[in-house]
Amino acid sequence: MRGRSWRPPLLLIQAEKLDVNETTLKYFAAVTSGAIDGDGYVSAARKEVGLTSGKLEVALLETAVLAAYGIKSEVKRVWSAYNVVASGVGAARLAGLYFLYGHPLLEGDDRLKSHKLAEAVRLGAEGLDIRWEGLRRTEGGLVAADLIISVGGAAVKYNVYLRGDAIELQFQSTDRSRAELAARLLRLAGVGAEVRRVGDEWQVVVYTGKLAAGHERLRGALAEIVEAARSNGWVDEKRAERWLKKLEKGRVSKEGWPMYYVGLNDGAPVVIFSSTKSDRIEQEAQKFREMGLKEGRHFTVKMPKGGREGYVFISSVGLRRAARLSVHGSGRQRELAEEFISYILKRAEEKSKAKKEDEDVYEKFKEVVEKGKSWGSLTLKGFAATVNGGYEVKVIDGSAEIEESWSGKKLLRLRITAEVNGVRDDYTITYIRDDRNKAMGYAVMRADAPGGREADKERLSALVEALTGKKPWKDSKKIRCGREHLDGFARFAEFADAIEEWLEETGGG
């Protein structure tokens, strides 16, 4: 047998002769991750992990190998190839091993298959087992316990300390690979964790805030430790209640989202995730790509170098786009956007409550989110309204296009066919960027319109007010609209995409 066909029998012999332990699991996961990264796939939605083979005998050997490592699978014929498919619990176990030991997570590996990795994180989390034991008092008087996290045969024991005002989870070892495994298991449990070197040891340390953002099973185990310590009289009631409330609050955060920074930049909401790990940065960036956000337009990525942190930066434009997709997206795109917006709003609310100087953070985030959700929520066709002055407005149709002026500037044309007080006409409002880069729209009145230029101006003014809720500015020959009117126009599906594109391409939010 040639190529990768020798691997299944070798892995099978390894499992039978050497037993299944951490060493063999690590090798098994590295080899199978290569197969997954090749022609394989990971689907968290279907709870499946698949390996592809060109030969039936190799596929059958692979099912035997997976079974030897405690993973049930079946062979499915797909055109001229064969898929070895693990599903349910087996898929979660295999995805967890892929995440923990597979070569895509090696430092500096440019071959990272991030979309498969992101799916593996979501699926592998379902196979986690989290438990605790050994509640005790240390010689220094601290309350401590052991927390064990395991998946697919890989397990790590952490120390949990109830120290001062914080719950502290700690792991330390002189073996860097063990510390890396400890950090990855925590990430699989929804906790942003990094490895750092302290003297001759490698450490992973996380505190209450990050732990409270973890998965429900992790928060539940930590809450049980706090409750047990309180029952023993080792922790006072006030501290215990504060910790339990923080762990309970974590339930509002969607699993799979690490701790993001939320704040304001010149009054505009921004969201930032930072890490010294390339795989963590890529994993988060891939979520936004899957969500439908465009790199360079809605978010930017800087990979870590030389031990310094990298980041994923989501601007207010990206936040607004995500909010829109949380309502008008489809399938997985919408699901991811809903999770992200829900989580970010909760983070903004918590920040506003925690710090007086940031009390406007939540309102700013809420304003951008509500604007994004409203965009594209209405349709022009059939829209009807009555505005002050008794004008009856009925919209027949509409469209929007981006055009280029003679000077090379991008123009936005909003075209509307409507009846105003029974007079049907076609209207065009053109948006440009002024010298200060503000979005300004205008429409020139026609002398040959029914009733003349003045009547044309009043009808169009009524139309703009009906569509946006705001009156335009008027002079003798034209009407003018501002950004607030553009946001109103963006509520209509026929306009929304072009408006969003024009704003982004012309450098404004």
- Residue 224, number of CB atoms within 10 A of its CB: 14
Pairing mode, strands 410-420 and 384-387: unpaired
Burial of 357 (0-12, 13-18, 19+ CB in 10 A): exposed
Cβ–Cβ under 8 Å, residues 221 and 147? yes
Query: Cα separations (Å) of 452 from 441, 443, 481?
Result: 22, 15, 21
pLDDT of residue 254: 45
pLDDT at 63: 78
What phi and psi values does residue 66 have, to the nearest 5 degrees? -60, -40
Q: What is the pTM assigned to this prediction?
A: 0.52
d(CA 278, CA 117): 13
Predicted pLDDT at 509: 61
**C-alpha to C-alpha distance for 116 and 93, rounded to whole angstroms:** 15
Q: What is the pLDDT of residue 2?
A: 39
In the chain, which stretches have pLDDT less than 70? 1-22, 26-27, 29-30, 33-35, 37-38, 44-45, 69, 78-80, 101-122, 124-125, 152, 249-256, 355-359, 508-509
C-beta separation of 288 from 308 below 8 A: no
Delineate the domains of the chain, giving CATH numbers in brackets.
Answer: 3-125 (3.10.28.10), 128-252 (no CATH), 261-374 (no CATH), 384-505 (no CATH)
Closest CA relative to residue 468, chosen from 481, 457, 459: 481
Whole-number pLDDT of residue 442: 93
